[in-house]
Amino acid sequence: MEITGIKIRKILEHGRLRGIVSVTFDDVFAVHDIKIVQGEHRLFVAMPSRRDESGSYRDIVHPITPSAREAIEAQVLDAFMEEQHRHGKTQ
């Protein structure tokens, strides 16, 4: 499965949430509301989630393997940084 599109929907300059992204896979499957979050040491990608009955947040969709997560995160963060640069914003 390949990422065939990344759309940066929102860039935020303040707070831990830095952006909202949609990703398309193989031109046939889209995942919306992927978050770009400023962690303690770096930006990271948080998959869409919702709160369960116990109050914990659980991912609605997510990569199964660490290598898939790393590949998605790298491509999403690269696209996010390019978009920030294009708009003259830096983190």
CATH of 3-86, one of 3.30.1120.40, 3.50.50.60, 2.60.40.1080, 3.40.50.150: 3.30.1120.40
Query: What integer pLDDT is reported at residue 77 of this predicted model?
Result: 97
User: pLDDT means per 10 residues in the chain (91 residues)?
Assistant: 96 94 97 96 96 94 96 97 83 51
pLDDT of residue 62: 94
Which of 33, 85, 30 is closest to 59 using CA atoms?
33
| pTM of the model as a whole | 0.88
| Predicted local distance difference test score (pLDDT) of residue 89 | 66
- Per domain, the residue ranges of the chain are 3-86
CA angle 50, 52, 55 (to 5 degrees): 100
